[in-house]
Structure 1
């Protein structure tokens, strides 16, 4: 891991680790609400039980957080994981009614919470591109 990647990976990794761990015991109405929002963006998820979805999401966020915090995991690899995850969050923003002003990508007050996730996609692409394009000794 490049030293310049440390601040980005630690801050995002800690955020994901905390988010994943906080969802470990999510069940019932809370899991159903989370699942319902996800199904709105990715209809294929409707076949997944809400409690199972919450557990899988918890594990995915925890694993991504740990990978980001682990120095020997290549930045390109964790960047790809983060890109996939953040692309899902951007899709959630784009497909959830009421998140954007009509005919625009500009977020509503309610949509700002999800619109900010575009930064995660930018950070992910930075990690991938920087890791893949840095000069290698000949």
Structure 2
């Protein structure tokens, strides 16, 4: 069976998938303090998450990251699907960057030192959109 993923796409999927899978695995056994920190940052940007218990939120986030990372690493998952998942995840992370005070300089998108880590998630959005757009282009 031929893989639907071309070699250059697999490089992109390996890099993003391994990073996201690692992030999810590191949150899997999060203690209460870690869960409260992760949840607190998310609630600051997405207030509706305040209704979710911090431990439950962190477990769900961990499971989502593990699922997305695995989908990116598994070549039988179509690029369009893996890319859409990656794009949605990255959009949520960029929302944290754009809406959390102190992450970027006033009246600018340039990151502060505190926002540098989140600003780098822009590459995840680029990778996800690249997978989606290339799979759409190949169908023509």
Query: Does 1:37 pair with 2:18?
Result: no
- Pairwise mapping of residues 22-33 of structure 1 onto structure 2 (< 5 A)? 22-33=26-37
TM-score (norm 2): 0.94
State the number of aligned residues. 136
Question: Cα offset for 1:27?
Answer: 2.5
In structure 1, what is the equivalent of residue 19 of structure 2? 15
The superposition leaves residues 75-108 of structure 1 with CA deviations (integer Å, 9 ceiling, x where unpaired) of 1100000011000000000011101111111111
Runs of 4+ in 1 over 2 A off after TM superposition: none
Give structure 1 stretches of 5+ with no counterpart: none
Query: Does 1:46 pair with 2:46?
Result: no
Tell me the secondary structure at the aligned position of residue 19 of structure 1.
Answer: helix
Question: Aligned Cα RMSD in Å?
Answer: 0.9
TM-score (norm 1): 0.96
The superposition leaves residues 102-129 of structure 1 with CA deviations (integer Å, 9 ceiling, x where unpaired) of 1111111111111000110011000000
**8 Å contact kept, 1:27–1:54:** no
Question: Cα offset for 1:135?
Answer: 4.6
The superposition leaves residues 54-84 of structure 1 with CA deviations (integer Å, 9 ceiling, x where unpaired) of 0000000000010001111001100000011
Query: Does 1:131 pair with 2:135?
Result: yes
Partner Cα separation in structure 2 for residue 22 and residue 67 of structure 1: 18
Query: Does 1:62 pair with 2:63?
Result: no
Partner Cα separation in structure 1 for residue 79 and residue 31 of structure 2: 33
Tell me the secondary structure at the aligned position of residue 97 of structure 1.
Answer: coil
